Amino acid sequence: MSTNPKVELTLPVMENMELAATKTAEVVAKSMGLDEMKTAEINMALIEACINAFEHSKSKENIYITYSIDGDTLTIKVGDKGEGFDSEVVAIPNIDEKINSEHKRGWGLQLMKELMDTVEFESSEAGTTVTMTKNK
């Protein structure tokens, strides 16, 4: 394997296309020897990142994903060219508040943070990139 291998994927905004991202993640995770649970956590976080990119970006352009392996760390970046958002103002969801609320969604960021080792957002009017890492 080459040093710090990187895989790049471009996805159109199409229903269930996030599953294509998980298929690639599975291959990358397997090459690193990540266990089944960590691979499933990566997949779940990646699904949420892709859905956010598809939906919240209000963009019909492609989204871009890179998977980079650096030793025992997998770094995944999911980028879109949407309007951007401020992750700091996104409320932490709470099931007690969601019940009897009109807005039951909004769990994606919380799931990503819980399932990955680190999650960072860079957002501007030109788009958003979420960078997530998972250690072996």
In the 3-class helix/strand/coil scheme, how is 70-95 assigned residue by residue? ECCEEEEEEEECCCCCCHHHCCCCCH
Q: Closest CB to another protein among 39 and 128? A: 39
Residues 44-73 that bind another protein (CB under 8 A): 44, 47-48, 51
Q: Closest CB to another protein among 6 and 136? A: 136
* Minimum distance from residue 112 beta carbon to another protein (Å): 10
Can you tell me the distance from the alpha carbon of 119 to that of 130, in angstroms, rounded to the nearest whole number? 7
Size of the site for another protein (CB under 8 A): 29
Q: Taking a C-beta distance cutoff of 8 angstroms, is the pair 48, 22 a contact? A: no
Q: Closest CB to another protein among 87 and 93? A: 93
Residue 123: closest CA among 62, 38, 43, 53:
53
Residues 86-125 that bind another protein (CB under 8 A): 93-96, 98-100, 104-108, 110-111, 114-115
Return the DSSP state at 26: H
Q: Could you list the residues that contact another protein (CB under 8 A)?
A: 15-16, 18-19, 22, 37, 40-41, 43-44, 47-48, 51, 93-96, 98-100, 104-108, 110-111, 114-115
